Amino acid sequence: MAVGITALGTYAPQRVLTNQDLEKMLETTDEWIVSRTGIRERHIAAENEFASTMGVRAVQDLVRRHPDALAGVDFIVCATSSPDALFPSTAALIGGEVGLAGVAAYDLSCACSGFVYACATAHGFIAAGIARRVLVIGAETLSKIVDWQDRGSCILFGDGAGAAIVEAVPEGYGFQSFALGADSAGGPSLYMRAVADRIPGVEKDLMAPKVGMNGREVFKFAVRVLGDSGQQALTKAGLAPADVDWLIPHQANVRIIDAARERFGIPEEKVVVNLERYGNTSTASIPLALQEAVDAGRVKDGDQLLFVAFGGGLSWAAGCLKWYGGAGAMVTGAAAEVSA
Amino acid sequence: METFEQVKEVIVEKLGVDADKVTPEARFVEDLGADSLETVELIMGLEDKFGISISDEDAEGIRTVQAAVDYIGSKQ
């Protein structure tokens, strides 16, 4: 059965924090940040905005674009690294707010790889007959957990949310393969504590309730794993780098994306990058980039997409997707029935 | 090809500098203009080229072209 994305919606908070704003808060410069990361500004959640409220806004955007999109949703998966609470899940909170109370819902914790993991999960549920129409969300308020004293990391992150409907699509479209992985050996390179006062490999005095990061280690890992996992996903799908119309990477750092792209052999003009305006929004970054590329008419019906992501864990996730943009993108009941 | 020439190739590619600037005494940051991420890319380039793994701690000590050549020599 072919399963793909049929609808998208996104949200970014109103408040924009520029590099010039950061110059007033930290010992840093716009030039330093742009040359090391490519980031110029990021959106920051208001005091009363959290992953669930931003996820709701993304779902509302999706409904505005596709009014019938929530009809028949029978599973909600929310990928987030900054959930409102350990429980209730952010997915359940969002479901309750958008008229889906009672629908199965849970959060998926896989840091920045989460959106692609959630797509794989949704695909699996649908293929196994557990669900038919899954609402996949990536929602983050990283600004509330980054260490604003650490000029090496706080400049990187931003807040945002994305929502997608994953369901049956006509044959020839949809997800063709996934390549997923995780290795806790790299855990100390990027972490955020929760209940335990220890994480293997992290020194006790570095266990503040804030995001901890070793930039050099993450950079090395990311550059290698983006290329390797992307190649694995392509190979599984019987594709080559030359078949990719659009590489849609997790938007962490343009230097990572460039280095990975070069190793991979995909030309710059085939890569979707919008991190200059959002920073690293973790699980929201791929939907935010994809939505912009679709809206701009860059990603079109039948285009071959490749998602690649990496994050805390350390984790990684790549996925090949033949983009379904037919009939205004939304497959209504009839088309879904035919291919099911 | 001797190690120095191979190291030089990686440096020219990763740092985008002229080959004649890559002398044994040249320092990556001060003389060849590498920024923090370029030094990481350089270390990765050397790891790939020579099939070795360079720990973060060791990488900190590799500040000149000669230091890179010596380090690689000690690993082979």
The per-residue pLDDT for range A158-198, each reduced to its tens digit, is: 999 999 999 999 999 999 999 999 999 999 999 999 999 89
**List of chain B residues whose C-beta atoms are within 8 Å of the C-beta of residue A35:** 35
For residues A79 and A81, give the distance between their C-alpha atoms in angstroms, rounded to a whole number.
Answer: 7
> Whole-prediction pTM value?
0.91
Yes or no, beta carbons of A219 and B56 under 8 Å apart: no
In this complex, the residue of B35, B36, B40 whose CB is nearest that of residue A220 is B40
Do A149 and A166 lie in one domain? The reply is yes
Yes or no, beta carbons of B37 and A217 under 8 Å apart: no
Do A66 and A128 lie in one domain? The reply is yes
pLDDT, chain A, mean:
93
The pLDDT, as a whole number, for residue A326 is 66
Do A165 and A211 lie in one domain? The reply is no
| Total domains in the fold of chain A | 2
Q: Which of residues 62-121 of A touch B (CB under 8 A)?
A: none
Q: Is A66 a catalytic residue?
A: no
Give the residue on B whose Cα is nearest the Cα of A36. Answer: B37
CATH number at residue A134: 3.40.47.10
Yes or no, beta carbons of B44 and A220 under 8 Å apart: yes
Task: Tell which phi-psi region holds residue A265, choosing left (phi > 0), alpha (psi between -120 and 50) or beta.
Answer: left
Indicate whether A243 pLDDT > 50: yes
The pLDDT, as a whole number, for residue A340 is 36
Q: What percent of chain A has pLDDT over 90?
A: 87
In this complex, the residue of B41, B56, B59 whose CB is nearest that of residue A259 is B41
Contact A82, A27 (CB under 8 A): no
Amino acid at A96: G
Task: Tell which phi-psi region holds residue A329, choosing left (phi > 0), alpha (psi between -120 and 50) or beta.
Answer: left
Q: Is A112 a catalytic residue?
A: yes
Indicate whether A333 pLDDT > 50: no
Do A138 and A243 lie in one domain? The reply is no
For residue range A283-292, list pLDDT tens digits in order.
Answer: 999 999 999 9
For residue range A121-159, list pLDDT tens digits in order.
Answer: 999 999 999 999 999 999 999 999 999 999 989 999 999
Mean pLDDT of A25-53: 95
Do A100 and A169 lie in one domain? The reply is yes
Q: Where are the alpha helices (DSSP H) in chain B?
A: 3-15, 36-50, 56-61, 65-75
Do A136 and A203 lie in one domain? The reply is no
Residue B61 CB neighbour total at 10 angstroms: 9
Task: Tell which phi-psi region holds residue A43, choosing left (phi > 0), alpha (psi between -120 and 50) or beta.
Answer: beta
Do A83 and A231 lie in one domain? The reply is no
For residues A174 and A304, give the distance between their C-alpha atoms in angstroms, rounded to a whole number.
Answer: 10
Q: Is A280 a catalytic residue?
A: yes
Do A187 and A105 lie in one domain? The reply is no
Tokens of A282: 């973790």
Do A179 and A59 lie in one domain? The reply is no
Nearest to A229 by CA among A127, A313, A124, A323: A313
For residues B9 and B21, give the distance between their C-alpha atoms in angstroms, rounded to a whole number.
Answer: 12
Exposure letters A31-69 (e unless 16+ CB within 10 A, then b): ebbeebbbbbbbbbbeeebbbbbbbbbbbebbbebbeeb
Do A297 and A207 lie in one domain? The reply is yes
Contact A278, A43 (CB under 8 A): yes
The pLDDT, as a whole number, for residue A237 is 98
Which DSSP string corresponds to A153-207? Answer: TGGGB--EEEEEEEEE--TT-EEEEEEEEE-GGGGGGEE---SSS--TTS-GGG-
Tokens of A288: 């935010």
Do A250 and A268 lie in one domain? The reply is yes
Do A93 and A157 lie in one domain? The reply is yes
User: How many A/B residue pairs have CB atoms within 8 Å?
Assistant: 21
- Lowest mean pLDDT of A30-39, A61-70, A331-340, name the range: A331-340
State which residues form the domain around A241. 175-322
